[in-house]
Amino acid sequence: GIDCQGGSRMCCRQEFFVDFREIGWQDWIIQPEGYAMNFCTGQCPLHVAGMPGIAASFHTAVLSLLKANTATGTAGGGSCCVPTARRPLSLLYYDRDSNIVKTDIPDMVVEACGCS
């Protein structure tokens, strides 16, 4: 996956960090100090559809060309810039009974993006 930089308009991962202090949640969430949510944004031209990321080798380049050729004439496309790798968020927090709870919420942090 590619991280968004500068004026790139291709599918990439945009970092987005939520500081729990900023939203006033630091009193009930003990750890961590924030949530690195991140999200996917950018365009997915037809020739990179189905590629998790951008073509990076000879084989993927050939495959991309084949896709572009066979896709010519098909309208709409339907490829989307989506998370291709995610990891859990570990949280330690107080619940409404002031108990301490530790849990791992799966698939919370976007680690990489690609075209569906």
Binding residues vs another protein (CB under 8 A)? 9, 11, 16, 18, 23, 25, 27-28, 30, 35, 37, 39-44, 75-82, 88-89, 91-106, 108
| Least CB distance to another protein at residue 62 (A) | 24
| Least CB distance to another protein at residue 50 (A) | 14
* Tokens 């990076």, located at residue: 56
Nearer to another protein, 33 or 88 (CB): 88
Rounded Cα distance between 1 and 5, Å, is 12
Nearer to another protein, 49 or 64 (CB): 49
Give the chain's length: 116
CA dihedral 47, 52, 54, 55 (to 10 degrees): -70
Extract the tokens encoding 32.
Answer: 């961590």
Extract the tokens encoding 13.
Answer: 């991962």
Nearer to another protein, 64 or 79 (CB): 79
